[in-house]
């Protein structure tokens, strides 16, 4: 890995807020440019570098402050300059990354193969036809002949429908996805023409002829069944929607002979996918952290040997990360950097928690101490997520005690919903050569009489892998890339891993003494996670021990260094415990494993909320995208349907149930696609694809609206939730052109708005959230004019506090706009598209000021326990504050990084740069004025709360005053003001116009800050 890649990954590991509110500045000390004054001061000035304010005399203190602040080259000014250099470095790295991604998109045509393949399978993107021209023409000419002939010979229709049904029933789901679309469309159109209702205004003769096309109920059911089978075999979203819409209109249909077809379709669980594992291309970011827990003492031994053989354990609820130390002891709660949390910030910790495993399951933080292996009646204990203290012990389910005299827990995992206990009846110190079984028990947690109770979910399974099964499956991708360098497979692998050329298969087999192919003591420290479909073990490559897997004979700067195997993912199927596949991790130089971390003892977990994988070493936390599909029970929970697929007992299915099962699959399919689009949003420019084709026609969009409208009338919440997910996908690809298109869009907007404004107790919070996501994803389709969009945004910003639906819609829209503004910050013409006008920005700022004042006031008003909960969840950024941060960072970064085109020194170029700078300065002045006025109001509240606490006789006054600093970080004072004031030091922004305009606000800001600081100092003097 070259130095440029190291610098880039190190810069991108921090954010603007971590530089000012956490340890981000320390993380980039070797990268940030030093202040200009450092190293050039005279020798006589060195004594002035040591500053002290230890005095109780206010007059003397004021003199010292005046002496320091009056010097333009003081330590405070140098710190500001150092922070400014850090911001410049961060923004320069972000801009370089944006340029590289743009070049990659242009070089590869913006194609993310995995995402495009799914879009093609679903019929949302056209693909080249593969059938010969003559075959296609012959087939296409048959359809109109059949359609015409059946009018005169109705019996032909019944025979044809029966033949088609017999052929299509033998087709596996999605097996026709690569067949010519025009031929499949013709077949779909033929079946639909036989089923559709006859026109109302037709003559009686024509109506009679049409009604005789399918003159028996059986023929109509066969035609409908053939259409269902075609939809399942084709797998196209458009065909599924067309089929469901047509079946809803056929009120006289009874049962259809498609039970086997639908059963095979549901077994796909929404469509094919890859197993979950760690892949280099899915690595998102790596950042340094400190867990603030005691370091394990390796000098102790004897009785504690069993405890110290544990590795680090990691869990997450989607917002916060919970980690033990490197030997499994203690617990620390850190911000993940997602959903407004502060990346790496330690919100709470418990140093006394005994060694064990920690998971987050069913909205509960759970811990199983290793000492529970001697207590077979106890499964785990519930930990309070705010205090990290144990609050309940969860008993083992009755009659489920492990067999045998001893039991060794190897890991406790969770997919966010269920609990997975991996254990063995053998003892760690057992010397027998007999192979031991590794069991996995799955539990479902529920609440009974206020207590957490565990129930068995499925039969106990044995994790099984044949000896040498993973050793022989060397990474073919790696070897193919090495074809021009290698003399033999073993020599190549040895050179890449830095190990000797030995018979790795025999070595591994000789050490194996468990059913899953790994030694018991190795399993104890093997990182494991469960995604809901698979259990994944992370192991070092075969024949490699310790950190040697990360060394290469080619050296760290060699072009081959990125080919070394960093770790291997052993994938086991949860249903039967059988080994499924193995994937090797390469091409992840920026990860902790790429930096030299050992695989053994690594902490890892699956993030069900964000569909991510987290790994944690002693120094770094890594975020990975999950390459596999989301587990089926997660998908079904979102859709509000059961994930249990029952094998049919009869050949026929009622038409209503056919519709439900088809939409069940459609909803799951669309959720998988949304996850793929979210994971590949940086590499897949949808706009470029949309400009070339129109994958969704108006009739299909109208059919979706018809299905939704009927479901709303019938109160069918399952269908409503499925169609809401469909809307979220279709809005990304539907580009209304004609008046009919725009009418369909208006209709969909009315339906969504009707759901949004319905009482939440009537539709439920889940539907309300899906409605907000649908409106946000289709924001530019539903509200194409700037006037309409601004009207909607004004409504949600002004009325959001009085309506839960509007409040949630506001948060979703602003979060989405902030993300888009962050991604398109540099070199994009769409920046202005994500920036609200001054009026709307004013409403956002008012909300931020209100939120900031409210959270500061809580330090004085809430009870002691609630205040402790508050401290364990802040700082966290609200969607409104997050959007303001994105706008401010966008303006400041583009201003500070602006540079003239070196290849063009013409007057027109210089004039253009000058106008751009002036435009940015004007925007910054307008925003800075609003922010400083808002900060004055928040500081006034802070001063009032501080004074009130000092004058109060509350028992925990000192704790609340100390907590005020942490709470203030969650406000605009922490997330907006430091970045703004630091950036204003840049020469581009040091203008007379800006200084003159901002001086009144800055003076007021200094007054409030001085009052708060003086009040705090007086309190400190009081306690001293």
Tens-digit pLDDT profile for residues 88-119: 999 999 999 888 887 776 665 544 566 666 66
Q: What are phi and psi of 776, to 5 degrees?
A: -65, -40
pLDDT tens figures, 402-450: 655 688 999 999 999 999 999 998 888 776 656 789 999 999 999 999 9
Burial class (CB in 10 A: 0-12, 13-18, 19+), 486: middle
**Worst-scoring range by mean pLDDT, 605-619, 731-745, 918-932?**
731-745
SS3 of 402-431: CCCCCCEEEEEEECCCEEEEEEECCCCCCC
pLDDT at 166 over 60: yes
Q: Which residues pair with 412 in a beta bridge?
A: 421
State the Cα–Cα distance between residues 529 and 412, nearest whole angstrom.
Answer: 9
- For residue 768, give the nearest of 790, 786, 752 by alpha carbon: 752
> Per-residue confidence at 211, pLDDT binned at 50, 70, 90?
very low
Domains of the chain, residue spans: 3-36+55-108, 121-254+636-770, 289-294+307-469+494-552+560-618, 825-900+907-1023
- Tell how strand 620-625 and strand 346-350 pair up: unpaired
pLDDT at 960 over 70: yes
Would you state the structure tokens that stand for residue 913, as one six-digit string?
């740069």
- For residue 327, give the nearest of 359, 351, 361, 360 by alpha carbon: 351
pLDDT tens figures, 539-587: 998 755 544 444 443 434 444 555 689 999 999 999 999 999 999 999 8
> Do residues 579 and 515 lie in contact, with contact meaning Cβ atoms separated by under 8 Å?
no
State the Cα–Cα distance between residues 769 and 775, nearest whole angstrom.
Answer: 10
- For residue 586, give the nearest of 492, 689, 720, 452 by alpha carbon: 492
DSSP 585-638: E-S-TTSTTTTT--STT-EEEEETTTTEEEEE-SSEEEEEE--BPPPHHHHHHH
- Mean pLDDT for the chain? 84
Please give the torsion angle defined by the CA atoms of residues 228, 230, 234 and 238, in that order, rounded to the nearest 10 degrees: -60
Which residue has 């947690």 as its token pair? 445
Mean pLDDT, residues 519-524 taken together:
91
More confident residue, 61 or 635: 635
> Do residues 285 and 622 lie in contact, with contact meaning Cβ atoms separated by under 8 Å?
yes
| Architecture of the domain whose range is 825-900+907-1023 | Up-down Bundle (1.20)
Helix (H) or strand (E) holding 441: strand 439-448
For a pLDDT cut of 70, what percent of the chain falls above it?
A: 79
13 HSE (CA, 13 A, CB side): 26
pLDDT at 265 over 80: yes
> Do residues 465 and 579 lie in contact, with contact meaning Cβ atoms separated by under 8 Å?
yes
In sequence order, the 6+-apart residues with CB closer than 8 A to the CB of 342 are: 17, 18, 21, 22, 335, 875, 876, 969
Q: Which residues pair with 456 in a beta bridge?
A: 443
In sequence order, the 6+-apart residues with CB closer than 8 A to the CB of 1022 are: 950
pLDDT tens figures, 68-90: 666 656 677 888 899 999 999 99
Mean pLDDT, residues 615-623 taken together:
97
652 HSE (CA, 13 A, CB side): 10
In sequence order, the 6+-apart residues with CB closer than 8 A to the CB of 199 are: 206, 207, 210
pLDDT tens figures, 776-832: 999 989 998 889 999 999 999 999 888 999 999 999 999 999 999 988 887 655 566
935 HSE (CA, 13 A, CB side): 29
State the Cα–Cα distance between residues 150 and 194, nearest whole angstrom.
Answer: 9
> Per-residue confidence at 618, pLDDT binned at 50, 70, 90?
very high
Number of H helices, E strands in the chain: 37, 23
Report the SS3 class of residue 664. helix
> Per-residue confidence at 645, pLDDT binned at 50, 70, 90?
very high
DSSP 151-199: HH-HHHHHHHHHHHHHHHHTSPTTTTTTS-HHHHHHHHHHHHHHHSPPP
* Alpha-carbon distances of 588 from 561, 585, 592, 764, 778, rounded to whole Å: 10, 7, 9, 43, 35
- For residue 308, give the nearest of 293, 298, 318 by alpha carbon: 298
Burial class (CB in 10 A: 0-12, 13-18, 19+), 272: middle
> Do residues 771 and 756 lie in contact, with contact meaning Cβ atoms separated by under 8 Å?
yes
> Do residues 789 and 779 lie in contact, with contact meaning Cβ atoms separated by under 8 Å?
yes
Would you state the structure tokens that stand for residue 23, as one six-digit string?
């340890």
pLDDT of amino acid 249: 92
> Do residues 815 and 834 lie in contact, with contact meaning Cβ atoms separated by under 8 Å?
no
Q: Which long-range contacts (CB under 8 A, 24 or more apart) does 207-216 make?
A: 209/151, 210/151, 212/154, 213/150, 213/151, 213/154, 213/157, 214/154, 214/157, 214/158, 214/161, 215/154, 215/158, 216/158
> Per-residue confidence at 907, pLDDT binned at 50, 70, 90?
low
State the Cα–Cα distance between residues 439 and 423, nearest whole angstrom.
Answer: 5
> Do residues 884 and 938 lie in contact, with contact meaning Cβ atoms separated by under 8 Å?
no
Helix (H) or strand (E) holding 217: helix 217-234
DSSP 976-1014: THHHHHHHTTSGGG--HHHHHHHHHHHHHHHHHHHHHHH
Q: Give Cα 851 to chain centroid, integer Å.
A: 26
End-to-end distance of the chain based on CA atoms, in angstroms? 53
> Do residues 273 and 692 lie in contact, with contact meaning Cβ atoms separated by under 8 Å?
no
pLDDT at 278 over 90: yes
State the Cα–Cα distance between residues 192 and 173, nearest whole angstrom.
Answer: 20
**Worst-scoring range by mean pLDDT, 640-649, 881-890, 903-912, 973-982?**
903-912
In sequence order, the 6+-apart residues with CB closer than 8 A to the CB of 329 are: 293, 294, 296, 307, 353, 354, 355
- For residue 730, give the nearest of 168, 237, 109, 93 by alpha carbon: 237
Which residue has 């047509």 as its token pair? 246
Mean pLDDT, residues 738-745 taken together:
88
pLDDT tens figures, 670-695: 999 999 888 876 555 554 454 344 46
pLDDT of amino acid 551: 42
> Do residues 353 and 330 lie in contact, with contact meaning Cβ atoms separated by under 8 Å?
yes
388: left (phi over 0), alpha (psi -120 to 50) or beta: left
Mean pLDDT, residues 609-625 taken together:
97
Please give the torsion angle defined by the CA atoms of residues 195, 196, 200 and 206, in that order, rounded to the nearest 10 degrees: -50
Helix (H) or strand (E) holding 692: none
Q: Give Cα 834 to chain centroid, integer Å.
A: 21
Q: Which residues pair with 439 in a beta bridge?
A: 423, 462
CATH number of 289-294+307-469+494-552+560-618: 2.115.10
pLDDT of amino acid 483: 43
pLDDT of amino acid 479: 46
State the Cα–Cα distance between residues 323 and 359, nearest whole angstrom.
Answer: 10
- For residue 315, give the nearest of 390, 416, 452 by alpha carbon: 416
pLDDT at 948 over 70: yes
């Amino acid at each position: 890995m070259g130095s440029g890649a190291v610098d880039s990954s190190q810069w991108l590991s921090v954010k603007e807020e971590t530089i000012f509110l956490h340890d981000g500045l320390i993380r980039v000390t070797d990268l940030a440019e030093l202040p200009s004054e450092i190293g050039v001061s005279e020798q006589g000035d060195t004594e002035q570098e040591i500053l002290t304010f230890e005095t109780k005399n206010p007059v003397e203190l004021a003199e010292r402050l005046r002496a320091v602040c009056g010097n333009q080259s003081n330590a405070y000014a140098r710190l500001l300059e150092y922070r400014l250099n850090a911001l410049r470095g961060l923004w320069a790295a972000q801009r370089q990354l944006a340029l590289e991604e743009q070049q990659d998109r242009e070089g590869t045509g913006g194609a993310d193969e995995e995402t495009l393949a799914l879009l093609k399978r679903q019929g949302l993107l056209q693909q080249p036809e593969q059938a010969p021209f003559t075959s296609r023409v012959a087939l296409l000419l048959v359809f109109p002949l059949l359609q015409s002939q059946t009018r005169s010979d109705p019996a032909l229709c019944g025979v044809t429908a029966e033949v088609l049904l017999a052929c299509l029933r033998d087709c596996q789901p999605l097996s026709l996805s690569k067949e010519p679309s025009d031929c499949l469309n013709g077949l779909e159109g033929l079946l639909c023409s036989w089923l559709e209702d006859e026109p109302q205004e037709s003559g009686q003769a024509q109506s009679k002829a049409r009604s005789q096309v399918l003159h028996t109920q059986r023929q109509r059911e066969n035609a409908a069944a053939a259409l269902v089978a075609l939809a399942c075999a084709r797998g196209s979203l458009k065909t599924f929607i067309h089929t469901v819409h047509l079946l809803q209109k056929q009120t006289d249909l009874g049962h259809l002979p498609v039970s086997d077809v639908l059963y095979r379709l549901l077994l796909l669980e929404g469509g094919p996918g890859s197993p979950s594992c760690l892949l280099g291309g899915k690595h998102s970011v790596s950042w340094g952290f400190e867990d603030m827990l005691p370091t394990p003492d390796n000098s102790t031994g004897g009785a504690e040997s069993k405890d110290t053989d544990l590795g680090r354990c990691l869990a997450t609820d989607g917002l916060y990360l919970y980690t033990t130390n490197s030997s499994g002891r203690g617990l620390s709660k850190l911000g993940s950097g997602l959903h407004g949390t502060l990346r790496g910030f330690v919100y709470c910790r418990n140093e006394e928690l005994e060694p064990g495993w920690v998971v987050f399951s069913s909205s509960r933080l759970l811990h199983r101490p290793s000492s529970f292996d001697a207590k077979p009646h106890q499964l785990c204990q519930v930990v309070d997520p705010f205090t990290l203290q144990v609050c309940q012990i969860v008993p083992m389910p009755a009659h489920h005690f492990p067999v045998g005299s001893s039991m060794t827990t190897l890991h406790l995992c969770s997919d966010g919903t269920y609990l997975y206990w991996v254990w063995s009846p053998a003892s760690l110190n057992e010397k027998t050569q007999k192979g031991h079984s590794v069991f996995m028990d799955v539990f479902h947690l529920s609440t009974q009489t206020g207590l957490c109770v565990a129930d068995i979910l499925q039969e106990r399974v044995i994790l099984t892998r044949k000896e040498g099964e993973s050793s022989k499956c060397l990474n073919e991708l790696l070897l193919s890339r090495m074809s021009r360098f290698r003399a033999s497979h073993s020599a190549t692998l040895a050179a890449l891993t830095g190990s000797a050329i030995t018979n790795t298969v025999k070595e591994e087999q000789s050490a194996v003494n468990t059913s899953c192919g790994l030694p018991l003591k190795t399993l104890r420290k093997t990182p494991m996670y469960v995604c809901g479909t698979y259990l994944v073990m992370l192991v070092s490559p075969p024949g490699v021990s310790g950190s040697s897997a990360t060394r290469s004979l080619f050296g760290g700067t060699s072009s081959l260094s990125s080919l070394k195997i960093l770790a291997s993912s052993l994938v086991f199927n949860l249903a039967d415990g059988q080994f499924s596949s193995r994937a090797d991790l390469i091409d992840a130089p920026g990860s902790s494993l790429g930096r030299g971390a050992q695989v053994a003892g690594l902490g890892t977990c699956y993030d069900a909320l964000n569909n991510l994988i987290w790994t944690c070493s002693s120094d770094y936390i890594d975020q990975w995208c999950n390459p596999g599909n989301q587990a089926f029970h997660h998908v079904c929970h979102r859709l509000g349907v059961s994930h249990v697929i029952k094998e049919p007992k009869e050949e026929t299915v009622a038409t209503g149930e056919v519709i439900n099962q088809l939409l069940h699959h459609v909803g799951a399919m669309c959720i998988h696609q949304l996850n793929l689009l979210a994971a590949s949003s940086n590499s897949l420019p949808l706009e470029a694809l949309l400009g070339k084709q129109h994958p969704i026609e108006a009739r299909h969009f109208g059919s979706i609206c018809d299905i939704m409208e009927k479901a709303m009338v019938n109160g069918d919440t399952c269908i409503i939730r499925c169609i809401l997910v469909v809307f979220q996908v279709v809005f990304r690809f539907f580009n209304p052109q004609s008046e009919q298109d725009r009418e369909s869009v208006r209709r969909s907007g009315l339906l969504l708005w009707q759901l949004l404004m319905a009482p939440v107790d009537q539709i439920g919070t889940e539907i309300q959230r899906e409605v907000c996501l649908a409106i946000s994803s289709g924001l530019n389709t539903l509200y194409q004019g700037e006037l309409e969009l601004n009207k909607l945004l004004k409504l949600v910003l002004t009325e959001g506090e009085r309506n839960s639906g509007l409040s949630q819609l506001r948060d979703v829209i602003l979060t989405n706009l902030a993300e888009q503004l962050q991604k398109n910050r540099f070199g994009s013409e769409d920046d202005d598209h994500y920036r609200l006008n001054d009026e709307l920005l004013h409403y956002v700022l008012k909300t931020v000021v209100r939120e900031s004042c409210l959270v500061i006031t809580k330090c004085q008003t809430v009870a002691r326990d609630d205040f402790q909960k508050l401290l364990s969840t802040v700082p966290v950024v609200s969607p409104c504050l997050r959007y303001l941060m994105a706008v401010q960072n966008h303006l400041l970064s583009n201003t500070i990084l602006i540079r003239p085109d070196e290849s063009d020194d013409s007057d027109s170029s210089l004039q253009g740069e000058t106008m751009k700078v002036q435009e940015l300065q004007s925007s910054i002045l307008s925003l800075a004025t609003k922010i400083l006025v808002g900060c004055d109001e928040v500081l006034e509240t802070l001063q009032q709360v501080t004074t009130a606490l000092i004058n109060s006789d509350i028992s925990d006054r000192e704790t609340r005053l100390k907590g005020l600093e942490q709470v203030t970080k969650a406000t605009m004072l922490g997330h907006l003001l430091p970045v703004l004031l630091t950036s204003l030091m840049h020469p581009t922004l040091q203008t007379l116009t800006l200084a003159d305009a901002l001086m009144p606000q800055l003076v007021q800001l200094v007054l409030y800050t001085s009052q708060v600081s003086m009040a705090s100092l007086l309190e400190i003097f009081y306690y001293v």
